[in-house]
Amino acid sequence: MKRIVLIILTFFSVFLFSCDEEKICCTPEPSWISKQYISCYVLPDTLEPVIQKETNSFCIALLFNGELILSGEDLFYTRHPLFDSISSLYNDNTWNRKSNYDNKAVAYTVNSIQIISDKDFDSFCPAGNNLIEKATVSAESWGDFVLNGYPEGQKDYLRYINKLFSDMSKAERSLWREGCRIYLPYPEQSGTYNFTITVTFEGGKTLRNTIEAELPSASSINM
């Protein structure tokens, strides 16, 4: 009887160990010690705009999609050939502390954003004018932290930027987490507007897309 019990206990021990081993092998590490703070870059090749209406303004949310440039420090992915060169571009090579999967950034600094309407937006912005001058741009950026050499005492590594694009420093336009949100007032006249958005990155990479939006007038919102 004791022999049977021993066999059963041994069987379950092996079974449980196998399950734990499988779990360990198939579950990515949540973090690791790395020379780089940023563990993954998005090499942008498409621009996905989405219109979101709010109470006193509307938002054009921009998402940059593209190939993932991974550090390969997890259990499943190999290091991408471009990872080291992009990290060196931002001098992100002396972190030597924990990094993790959340530390993902757009690979290129944003140089300019252009938003062109196909019809007059208001008396100051006729069709063809760049509406970015009227917009507030919001983005989450690692740039200030990484480009300034990981300042000691800086608690918010990921900074929330919310200002005119023209007022953003190069660091604030760098290492955006995924994209940005562009807030604009409603136009003078209600109707269907087609906005062509062009984003140009440092190095010359340009993405463009057009989105249609049915918008109320500013006067109807403020009544």
Tens of pLDDT along 196-208?
A: 999 999 999 999 9
Residue range of the domain that includes 13: 2-221
pLDDT(20) > 80: no
Query: What Å distances lie between residue 204 and 9, 85, 105, 129, 186, CA to CA?
Result: 65, 17, 18, 22, 31
Mean pLDDT over all residues of the chain?
Answer: 87
- Mean pLDDT, range 145-150, rounded to an integer: 95
Binned at pLDDT 50, 70 and 90, residue 209 comes out as very high
pLDDT(69) > 60: yes
> Quick one: which of 121, 133, 132, 116 has its CA closest to 217?
121
Q: What is the dihedral of CA 161, 162, 165, 167, to 10 degrees?
A: -80
DSSP bridge pairs for 59: 52, 183
List the structure tokens of 129. 């004018």
List the structure tokens of 13. 């021990």
Question: How far, in Å, CA of 158 to CA of 103, rounded?
Answer: 9
What's the predicted TM-score (pTM) here?
A: 0.83
Query: How many domains does the chain contain in total?
Result: 1
pLDDT(13) > 70: no
pLDDT at res. 222 = 66
